[in-house]
Amino acid sequence: MATYTVHEPPVSDSDRVDRAVELAFVKDGFSWLTAIFPPLGFLAHGLWLMAIAYLAGAGLLGYVLAQAKVDPDWIGLIMLMINIYLGFEISTLRRWMLDQKGWRMLGVVNGRSIEECERRFFESWLPDQPVIQSDTPKTPGNPSGTPGGLRFWPFGARA
């Protein structure tokens, strides 16, 4: 079972379909890519600032440990443990970055795949969202409710 948190941007459209397109689903779980090579894992998840911070922090930590005359095997083990930890925490970092940008968490959903999670979330979320209606009323001469008559007829409503 996969678990995803659902996040909404700070400024979103009022129409529920447009809002649904903007939602971000963040998977909770381990990232092998991040554990093997964290900068690439960060970049794959859109966390380029974290990739830069990791490179600077890892370089600084390696330099400090080397200057402290720590055995290179221990330095490698320390870096491996940090990478594995980051593999577990990549989703937390993504949620934190979204929170810093003003995104709001809407909920948590479980499923076998991302498609199932999206379906489950939208089945419960969409009915509670407002439907934006057109300002132009639908009439017999204007069945689509679009200004100027039929949608693809450039000269207004057909007589």
Show the low-confidence residues of the chain (pLDDT under 70).
12-14, 16, 130-159
Same domain, residue pair 92 and 19:
yes
Asked if residue 143 and residue 83 are part of one domain, the reply reads no
Q: Are both 122 and 155 inside the same structural domain?
A: no
Residues 113, 143: one domain? no
Q: Measured between alpha carbons, how far is 150 from 56 in angstroms, rounded to an integer?
A: 60
Same domain? For 33 and 79 the reply is yes
Of the candidates 15, 3, 16, 10, the one whose C-alpha atom is nearest the C-alpha of residue 122 is 16
91 and 148 housed in the same domain: no
| Same domain, residue pair 75 and 146 | no
Measured CA to CA in angstroms, residue 68 lies from 46, 55, 64, 81 at distances of 35, 20, 6, 19
Residues 123 and 140 in one domain: no
In terms of domains, do 15 and 67 share one? yes
pLDDT attached to residue 38 = 95
The distance from CA 96 to its chain's CA centroid, rounded to whole angstroms, is 11
Mean pLDDT of the residues in the chain: 83
**Positive or negative, the Cα torsion across 57, 62, 65, 71?**
positive
> What was the pLDDT predicted at 95?
93
Residues 78 and 44 in one domain: yes
Domain count, the chain: 2
> What 3-state DSSP class applies to 157?
coil
Residues 31 and 80 in one domain: yes
The pLDDT tens digits of the residues spanning 122-153 come to 888 877 776 665 555 555 555 555 555 445 44
Could you tell me the residue range of the domain that residue 143 belongs to? 135-159
pLDDT score at 124: 83
Residue pair 87/31 in contact (Cβ under 8 Å)? The answer is yes
H or E segment at 4? strand 2-8
Please calculate the CA angle 24-26-27 and round it to the nearest 5 degrees.
145
Same domain, 108 and 32: yes
| Residues sharing a CB contact under 8 Å with residue 64, sequence separation 6 or more, in sequence order | none
Residue in 85, 99, 95, 93 with CA at minimum distance from that of residue 25? 95
Backbone angles phi, psi at 4, to 5 degrees: -125, 145
Count of positions (residues) in the chain = 159
The pair of three-digit structure tokens given for residue 42, joined into one six-digit string: 């960060």
- The predicted pLDDT at position 33 comes to 94
